[in-house]
Amino acid sequence: MPEPLTLDSFRADLAACLFLEPGEVDLEESPLDAGLDSLRIVTLLERWQAAGAEVTFVDLAERTSFAQWWQLLTERVRGAGRADT
């Protein structure tokens, strides 16, 4: 079973794809400006979906910072009492 999605695991996932340390990830940075390409985004997306986040590639593409990604992920984790359910 995948580990639960936390801010620490989110940062670690991003850092691994960006070849950084988790503390070096700037959550206000644009994913594309940080150097993420579509293949890496899909890899992250699959990991986060396995952890219970109901998000799509388009959902992520519509947001312009890692902080916005984190907000979306926390809103869309299965069983988190979403407003639209």
Residue with tokens 């809103």: 75
Q: Residue 81: its pLDDT value, please? A: 45
Q: Residue 80: its pLDDT value, please? A: 56
- CA 31 centroid distance within chain: 10
Q: Residue 4: its pLDDT value, please? A: 85
Residue 39 backbone zone (phi > 0: left; psi -120 to 50: alpha; other: beta): alpha
Q: Residue 63: its pLDDT value, please? A: 97
In this prediction the pTM is: 0.87
| Local confidence pLDDT in tens for the 85 residues of the chain | 567 899 999 999 999 999 999 999 999 999 999 999 999 999 999 999 999 999 999 999 999 999 999 999 999 987 554 433 3
Domains of the chain: 7-75 (1.10.1200.10)
Coil, helix or strand for 9? helix
At 40, list the tokens.
Answer: 């890496």
